[in-house]
Amino acid sequence: MTELEQQLAKALARRDAPAGFSDRVLAAVQQSNRRVPWWRKMVPKSSASAWRLVPATVALVIAMSGALYQHHEKAEEGETAKRQLIAAMKIAGEKLHTAQQRVVEIGEIRTNEGSY
Amino acid sequence: MSLLISATRNGVEAADRMPLPGFAEVVEMHQSMVFSIAWHFLRDQSAAEELAQDVFLQLHRSWASMQSAEHIVFWLRKVTSNRCIDVVRRRKLRHETSLEEAAEPTSLERIQDPLLSAYLGRMVASLPEKQRMLVVLRYQEGMELEEIANALSMNVSTVKTQISRALDLLKAKMANRLKHDLEAEA
């Protein structure tokens, strides 16, 4: 080891951490352990509080089911109406086609009669 | 069959492992090491303390992955070093006091050892980040070149070259300062 290296080892000797450092670290660790995510704060800690939430939860579930059922019904009605409209348009189209064919046939007969 | 001490890639010596101590014990045992690396690198008491505290908090979060007492030491040195470099790069908190910017040392610094150490410490703080950390790990922690290379994910040859360059730079700075002092005295 050169003289400079020896001086460096002296100059860079370890220093004591500030007083109370380890206590502050352990306190910070405890603090970070205590930090809970937001959704955990919503959940009641005691079972009594949890039971009090049951009716509200049931009501919420029923209301949501009702809303979903209504939405489903409306969607179903819409689908039926759509199917009926398509069928009606199809029938009308077929009838129109038949009538058009008939008109063409009559036209052809008259043309033939005229040529004789 | 005797247990052979074999250095693994991450610097943990597989044999010679001690049982894992408790977290509080680890903080007590290594607070000086972590704080000193940060202090010698940053030369800022409060920044060094904050960084050291963050390192221990991170250690607590990673506690489950700690394999041995040696692994903890390796991990602490590695994380502290990387965080120090990150802090300086991120905040541009460069304490690279150039030779001209460094506080004027008195001629006593050439005589009294504690003052020379303080002066040398300031000179170390003026080195570029990587070189500074290499010097701190080498001369504060007395780490071998291979250990430093593992901790900082560098080649051993690069570590050797960089330390050598850092020493040359320090020598030049010291010589320059000495010249200034002698001229001032004359």
**Chain A: residue nearest B119 by CA?**
A11
Residue B177 has a pLDDT of 78
Q: Cβ of B135 and A13 within 8 Å?
A: no
Name every residue whose Cβ is closer than 8 Å to that of residue A50 and which is 6 or more positions away in sequence: A43, A44
Which residue of B27, B33, B116 is in closest CB contact with A26? B27
Residue A76 backbone dihedrals phi, psi, to 5 degrees: -65, -45
**Chain A: residue nearest B40 by CA?**
A12
Give the residue from A11, A23, A30, A32 showing the smallest Cα distance to B49.
A23
The answer for A79, left when phi > 0, alpha when psi is -120 to 50, beta otherwise, is alpha
Q: Cβ of A14 and B56 within 8 Å?
A: no
- pLDDT bucket at B52, cuts 50 / 70 / 90: very high
Residue A37 has a pLDDT of 66
* pLDDT tens-digit map of A54-67: 888 899 999 999 99
Domains, in order of start, for chain B: 18-95 (1.10.1740), 97-186 (1.10.10.10)
Domain range holding A67? 51-116
The pTM (predicted TM-score) of the whole model is 0.62
Torsion of CA B121, B122, B123, B128, to 10 degrees: 100
- How many domains would you assign to chain A? 1
Residue A44 inside a domain? The answer is no
- From the CA of A57, how many Å to the nearest CA of chain B? 36
Task: Judge if ipTM > 0.90.
Answer: no
